[in-house]
Structure 1
Amino acid sequence: MDFNAGDPEHFEVREPARQTIPFVYNSPHSGRCYPESFLADSNLDSMSIRRSADHYVDDLFADAPELGAPLLAAHFPRAYLDVNREPFELDPRMFDGPLPPYANIGSMRVAGGLGTIPRIVAENMDIYRRKLSVAEGLSRIEAIYKPYHACLRRLIAATHARFGICVLIDCHSMPGNIRLSGSNVKPDFIIGDRYGTSASAELSRAALSFLSEMGFAAVRNKPYAGGFITEHYGRPVRGLHALQIEINRGLYVDEGTLSKRPEFDAIAAALSLFMRQMADFVADFSASDTALAAE
């Protein structure tokens, strides 16, 4: 399939029958619809081009609506467009003409090939066999990136207006070979709060505690502290909290075939419990009239 401007198939909001908890769940990198023209322009085969995706993360958090929270899920793949970036983090080497002056061409993410329109997947696997036109790149941002973020903003604003607080959980996965620098620790989960700036310390500690109590190795901020979404939407002093959660893919996906492992259902059940525990934790804070404060 190909995407067209205004196409409602870019993403979906899985709504609860009634929102009962002040949470919004977001899965921006688990899209599985690859435009035919994109595949035709790629150097990569159908398996290699999926290496950077957050495989089935939307399925892992599928219970969110049943628990009373909306889940925003991308249908487009991360290799095609990355909404966890600034809107115009663009690599001029990828395009056949000059980029507009407002493009951020000097970020570390652009330098690494992982801008708003990525140049690579996984470990330096070049996506494209040709340069893109500037118009083509900008059209992806206009047709998909901007509507996606407009939808996410609406969900956050509606949640905040209803409950006086909103907790955004930005859901991702990471390669199974990730280890903490200087050690052999291989985390099962990483909770990112931009080093205490995107969410309250109490929320981060609660998330780590719930995962650890289930027997998982859970760490905070290293090596992933959160991307653009976490940084952009987390404003804890205003009651807007954003946490990024990274799940080790090796727990639930065969990284050779990219198919679900037999353990998938158990990990999904653990995350359903995690979501319940986080909701109860925030409800207890609200009931005690205690503010969730940033560090």
Structure 2
Amino acid sequence: MQVVQVHEGDGPVILAFPHVGTEVPSEVWARLNDEGRVLRDTDWHIHELYAGLIPGLTTVTATQSRYVIDLNRDPSGVSLYPGQTTTGLIPETTFDNVPIWSQPPGAADVAHWLEAVHRPYHAALAAEVARVRARHGVAVLYDCHSIRSEIPWLFPGTLPELNIGTNNGTTCAPALEQAVTQIAATSGHSWVLNGRFKGGWTTRHYGRPETGVHAIQMELSQISHLGAEEPPFALDPARATHLRKTLTEILATLADLAPRLAHS
């Protein structure tokens, strides 16, 4: 079973796609209920949205659904947002708190899929971070996500279109955070820095600016690029084209700033 696809680029920016996968092993599929089989909380079309935006990008893309195991959760099971509603390593419900299992997973399932999917994905991602940093003296890990714009179980109201996470400024150099927020502020999209989503385990685990590894999470509200946030979750060409312009500017700016960080 191939759990991760890697494309090696020659630039300093790495795109991670932990939640675009829609493959589900047969033994997991048999235990999902009808709601679970919708795979509602997939980051629909995100890898397509970012495809070819700037030259030189490295991409690390998961193939398995987050319902198999969530690659953006701490493997120890510790909550990323203590005291707030969230889902775990293997989600028991959708983001609307609707059960997804006819036969819920247990501790043995978590242990198995950690070994079979979570660890291989992060081994591949860590290898790319090391390769890019060795080449450029710096690596910028940009963790790509999306989520429905209104999910009362997780957050009140409507989510901004661009949700930038740096774990309160700890996972990347201030210059990178400032550059991304400046672009967001003039993009015509609603945005927030370190709002409900401050960066998941990937951003927090890899983002060590003092070692030359900078990490930023971008959580896109799906209303910014989908026709509707319900099945079949189709990409809206006009919205996607508008959003891709902003994402191109962000990635190009990060790639341009990276060499300066390496020599600062």
**What band does the TM-score fall into relative to the shorter chain?**
0.7 to 0.9
Residues 127/186 of structure 1: CA separation in 2 closer, same or farther (3 Å cut): closer
In 2, Cα distance between the equivalents of 1:267 and 1:13? Answer: 24
**Counterpart in the other structure of 1:154:** 127
In 2, Cα distance between the equivalents of 1:272 and 1:28? Answer: 20
Q: CA deviation at 1:111?
A: 8.7
Residues 131/177 of structure 1: CA separation in 2 closer, same or farther (3 Å cut): closer
Q: Which amino acid aligns with 1:60?
A: L
Q: CA deviation at 1:107?
A: 7.3
Structure 1 position 274 matched with structure 2 position 264: no
In 2, Cα distance between the equivalents of 1:87 and 1:37? Answer: 21
Which residues in structure 2 correspond to 1:97-116 (within 5 Å)? 112=85, 114-116=87-89
In 2, Cα distance between the equivalents of 1:113 and 1:129? Answer: 21
3-state SS of the aligned residue for 1:259?
A: coil
Which residues in structure 2 correspond to 1:116-135 (within 5 Å)? 116-132=89-105, 134-135=107-108
Q: Deviations over 1:145-180 (max 9, x none)?
A: 11111111100011111111111101111222379x
Q: Which amino acid aligns with 2:195?
A: K
**Counterpart in the other structure of 2:46:** 57
**Higher RCO (C-alpha 8 Å, min separation 6):** 2
In 2, Cα distance between the equivalents of 1:193 and 1:52? Answer: 22
Larger Rg: 1
Residues 175/185 of structure 1: CA separation in 2 closer, same or farther (3 Å cut): closer
In 1, Cα distance between the equivalents of 2:138 and 2:112? Answer: 34
3-state SS of the aligned residue for 2:163?
A: strand
3-state SS of the aligned residue for 2:120?
A: helix
In 2, Cα distance between the equivalents of 1:205 and 1:80? Answer: 36
Asked if the contact 1:113–1:119 (Cα under 8 Å) also holds between the matched residues in 2, the reply is no
- After the TM superposition, which parts of structure 1 deviate over 6 Å for at least 4 consecutive aligned residues? 182-185
3-state SS of the aligned residue for 1:72?
A: strand
In 2, Cα distance between the equivalents of 1:264 and 1:286? Answer: 31
How high is the TM-score relative to the length of structure 2?
0.88
Asked if the contact 1:52–1:121 (Cα under 8 Å) also holds between the matched residues in 2, the reply is yes
**Counterpart in the other structure of 1:41:** 31
Q: Deviations over 1:246-293 (max 9, x none)?
A: 11100111112311113223323432232112212334x359x4x3xx
Residues 184/23 of structure 1: CA separation in 2 closer, same or farther (3 Å cut): same
**Equivalent residue for 2:235, pick from 253, 260, 263:** 260
Asked if the contact 2:13–2:142 (Cα under 8 Å) also holds between the matched residues in 1, the reply is yes
May I ask how many residue pairs the two structures share in their alignment? Answer: 260
3-state SS of the aligned residue for 2:140?
A: strand
How high is the TM-score relative to the length of structure 1?
0.79
3-state SS of the aligned residue for 1:242?
A: strand
3-state SS of the aligned residue for 1:121?
A: coil
Q: CA deviation at 1:244?
A: 0.5
Asked if the contact 2:162–2:221 (Cα under 8 Å) also holds between the matched residues in 1, the reply is yes
Structure 1 position 24 matched with structure 2 position 24: no
In 1, Cα distance between the equivalents of 2:156 and 2:88? Answer: 29
Q: List alignment gaps of at least 5 residues for structure 1.
A: 1-6, 90-103
Q: List alignment gaps of at least 5 residues for structure 2.
A: none
In 1, Cα distance between the equivalents of 2:156 and 2:229? Answer: 23
3-state SS of the aligned residue for 1:126?
A: coil
Asked if the contact 1:189–1:218 (Cα under 8 Å) also holds between the matched residues in 2, the reply is yes
Q: Which amino acid aligns with 1:55?
A: W
Q: RMSD of aligned C-alpha atoms?
A: 2.8
